[in-house]
Amino acid sequence: MRIQPKLHSVRRLLLGVFVLSAAALYSYQARAATEQPPIPRGVAMKSWQENGRDGRYLLQLAQGKSLKAGQRVSGTVISDTDCDIDAEGLSHCHNTIKLANGSEITVIDTHNMHRYRCLGAGDKISLKGIGGSWIMGTLSAK
Host domain of residue 65: 1-142
Give the ranges where the chain is alpha helix by DSSP (H). 8-34
Q: 139: Cβ–Cβ under 8 A, 6 or more apart, which residues?
A: 55, 56, 57, 119, 123, 124, 125
Look at residue 38 and give its three-state secondary structure: coil
Which pLDDT score is estimated for 30?
42
pTM of the predicted protein model = 0.74
Q: 102: Cβ–Cβ under 8 A, 6 or more apart, which residues?
A: none
Which pLDDT score is estimated for 16?
59
Q: How far is CA 76 from the centre of its chain?
A: 21
Which pLDDT score is estimated for 2?
60
Which pLDDT score is estimated for 36?
84
Counting the structural domains of the chain, the total is 1
For residues 19 and 123, give the distance between their C-alpha atoms in angstroms, rounded to a whole number. 49
Residues of the chain with pLDDT under 70: 1-10, 13-34, 142
Which pLDDT score is estimated for 31?
41
Q: How far is CA 111 from the centre of its chain?
A: 8
Query: What are the tens digits of pLDDT across the range 90-128?
Result: 999 999 999 999 999 999 999 999 999 999 999 999 999
Which pLDDT score is estimated for 20?
60
Number of helices and strands in the chain (H, E): 1, 6
Which pLDDT score is estimated for 1?
56
Q: 16: Cβ–Cβ under 8 A, 6 or more apart, which residues?
A: none
Which pLDDT score is estimated for 27?
43
Which pLDDT score is estimated for 78?
98
